[in-house]
């Protein structure tokens, strides 16, 4: 990747229910946090790439770019995507092409403004066939769990350990969120709570991420500009993306996300960073099942083994997953499960966490990483694995 884009500042709001706060107030708060961090004003921005998934529905906004232009009093090029990772990828391409030197990437979502219909919206847009068959937003996750168990022949004592491992994913993410002042849920939960909430179902209340409001931003620059602003830029070493069938039940293998595998291969090849070299991961844990499966899809764990690594790691009271003798930190901000999941802004929170960790600025959440080179990766989905994005970040240019 020539002229690698660099992140020089990040900003975000607290995630949660902000029913009484307008979306423009949220995105302004996130932008000001990033702006103050790097001393860049609006007049320095050459373009804006923003993401939202439901804002036109929840807040009746027709042309979001015009809304942003009015809000920022800027007339620079602005583009809207459905996910933060998609906005970041587009911005990176523009920086690499030499079109811009300094751009704003952001995300905003106000899901609480449509509580009465948001679940229908989620399922209808994620998988209309399942929706019309009476499926809920959670149904595909449970179908994936059943397919995974059947494919790998998990039964008896191992099946019970897998169920505990999934509960431990939720417990771990809540424990991490306690140290995250922006997280939606800052409370400790137990394995027993997670299991009891399932009520004889494969997955239960504590296995799923919430619906949230919030905003995130970052300032992306060319390498030349970044080196003038800071001696510690975090480079976007690669972005990869892939797409799978919209209809989940029509996919060849229901036990995994093939798009995530392809996106990681593309990003890994570009960055020249193998999955085994990744020390920090922010995964799309819309459910505990998704965090576990994604570990295998991106090549960190071998197929059918992620649950074993999770179970053994937390049985031994380890803060990180022990994967074949190597420690991997996953969702140190609490993940979607506890940090929150405002769709258009979610990927920005994942990038925010990797950025802070690589720079040693994660405060109580800071983990001890081996000597350089240090790498982190973000995996974000649109829909139920329909589109996958992988962004690999590194503190040093390769």
- All structural domains of the chain: 6-116+211-229 (3.40.47.10)
- 90-104, 118-132, 170-184, 332-346: range with lowest mean pLDDT: 118-132
Query: Residue 54's pLDDT band (boundaries 50, 70, 90)?
Result: confident
Q: Which ranges of the chain does DSSP label H, i.e. alpha helix?
A: 23-38, 55-58, 64-72, 84-96, 118-126, 128-132, 139-151, 157-177, 191-196, 223-229, 258-271, 288-297, 306-315, 335-339, 343-358
In this predicted structure, the answer to whether residue 67 has a pLDDT above a threshold of 90 is: no
The pTM of this model reads 0.95
Instruction: Write the CA distances from 369 to 218, 327, 356, 365, 373, integer angstroms.
Output: 23, 9, 13, 12, 10
**What's the mean pLDDT when you consider all of the chain?**
92
- 51-55, 134-138, 163-167, 260-264: range with lowest mean pLDDT: 134-138
The predicted structure's pLDDT at residue 397:
47
Mean pLDDT, residues 279-293: 97
Nearest to 343 by CA among 9, 105, 15, 59: 15
| DSSP string computed for 368-388 | ---SSP-EEEEEEEETTTTEE
Query: Residue 33's pLDDT band (boundaries 50, 70, 90)?
Result: very high
The predicted structure's pLDDT at residue 231:
87
pLDDT tens digits, residue range 69-106?
777 778 888 898 999 999 999 999 999 999 999 999 99
pLDDT tens digits, residue range 137-154?
889 999 999 999 999 999
Mean pLDDT, residues 250-278: 96
The predicted structure's pLDDT at residue 396:
63
The predicted structure's pLDDT at residue 184:
98
- 136 three-state secondary structure: coil
pLDDT tens digits, residue range 337-359?
999 999 999 999 999 999 999 99
**How far apart, in whole angstroms, are the C-alpha atoms of residue 141 and residue 309?**
20
The predicted structure's pLDDT at residue 2:
59
């Amino acid at each position: 990747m020539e002229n690698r884009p660099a992140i020089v500042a990040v900003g975000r709001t607290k995630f949660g229910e902000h029913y009484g706060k307008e979306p423009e107030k949220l995105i302004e708060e996130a932008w000001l946090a990033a702006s103050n961090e790097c001393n860049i004003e609006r007049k320095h921005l050459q373009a804006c790439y923003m993401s939202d998934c439901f804002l036109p529905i929840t807040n009746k906004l027709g042309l979001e770019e015009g809304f942003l232009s009015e809000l920022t009093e800027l007339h620079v090029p602005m583009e809207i995507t459905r996910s933060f990772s998609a906005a970041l990828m587009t911005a990176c391409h523009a920086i690499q092409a030499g079109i811009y030197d300094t751009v704003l990437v952001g995300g905003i979502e106000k899901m609480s403004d449509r509580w009465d219909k948001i679940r229908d919206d989620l399922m209808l847009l994620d998988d209309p066939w399942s929706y019309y068959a009476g499926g809920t937003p959670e149904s595909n996750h449970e179908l994936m769990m059943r397919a995974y168990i059947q494919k790998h022949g998990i039964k008896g004592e191992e099946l019970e350990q897998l169920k505990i491992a999934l509960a431990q994913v939720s417990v771990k993410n809540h424990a991490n969120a306690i140290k995250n002042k922006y997280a939606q849920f800052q409370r400790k939960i137990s394995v027993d709570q997670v299991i009891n909430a399932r009520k004889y179902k494969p997955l239960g209340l504590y296995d799923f991420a919430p619906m949230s409001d919030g905003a995130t931003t970052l300032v992306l620059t060319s390498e030349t500009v970044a080196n003038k602003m800071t001696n510690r830029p975090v480079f976007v070493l690669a972005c990869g993306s892939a797409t799978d069938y919209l209809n989940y039940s029509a996919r060849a293998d229901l036990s995994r996300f093939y798009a995530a595998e392809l996106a990681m291969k593309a990003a890994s090849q570009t960055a020249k960073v193998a999955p085994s070299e990744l020390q920090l991961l922010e995964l799309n844990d819309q459910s505990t099942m998704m965090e576990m499966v994604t570990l295998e899809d991106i090549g960190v764990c071998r197929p059918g083994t992620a649950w074993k690594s999770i179970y053994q790691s937390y049985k031994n009271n380890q803060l990180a997953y022990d994967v074949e003798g190597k420690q991997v930190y996953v969702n140190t901000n609490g993940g979607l499960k506890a940090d929150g999941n405002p769709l258009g802004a979610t990927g920005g929170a994942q990038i925010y966490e990797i950025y802070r960790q690589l720079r040693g600025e994660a405060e109580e959440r800071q983990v001890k990483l081996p000597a350089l080179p240090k790498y982190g990766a973000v995996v974000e989905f649109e829909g139920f694995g329909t589109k996958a994005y992988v962004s690999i970040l590194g503190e040093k240019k390769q």
